[in-house]
């Protein structure tokens, strides 16, 4: 969108297909603190689902920022980071949060009572356990 200098979106559809949007400006940098956005974005996704809405989470390449937000959402739904990441790779193969975001997700998981940072999650597509269905 930036490449084409688009800064506004007009949806032409009936009320039944109205789209609610939320924008969060986040650079895809290892040293950017995504933490302040993780819980609010996950809560927004959960609220949209409670309203019966399907949610599209996207970023420029669909690999790092959007994946990090979806992973944070799954963590808050009770998933482990390992299972959430494996599931997301199966659903969207280009998934690859940058290492800074990944470390922040590990800390979020720890705060939520999940895995310990002394057992790091390897970013690989080979996992033994199948994640729960969502």
Query: What residues are labeled active site?
Result: 59
- Of the candidates 54, 62, 47, 56, which has an alpha carbon nearest to the alpha carbon of residue 97? 62
Q: Which residue is listed with tokens 């949806």?
A: 11
Tokens 């927004």 sit at which residue? 44
């Amino acid at each position: 969108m930036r490449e084409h200098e688009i800064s506004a979106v007009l949806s032409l559809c009936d009320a039944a297909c109205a789209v609610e949007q939320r924008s969060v400006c986040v650079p895809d940098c290892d040293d950017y603190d995504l933490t302040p956005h993780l819980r609010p974005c996950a809560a927004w996704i959960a609220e949209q689902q409670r309203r019966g809405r399907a949610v599209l989470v996207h970023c420029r390449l669909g690999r790092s920022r959007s994946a990090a937000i979806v992973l944070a959402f799954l963590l808050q739904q009770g998933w482990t980071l390992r299972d959430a990441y494996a599931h997301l790779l199966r659903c969207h193969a280009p998934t690859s949060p940058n290492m800074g975001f990944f470390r922040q997700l590990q800390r979020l998981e720890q705060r939520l009572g999940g895995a310990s940072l002394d057992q790091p999650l390897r970013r690989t597509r080979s996992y033994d356990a199948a994640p729960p269905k969502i």
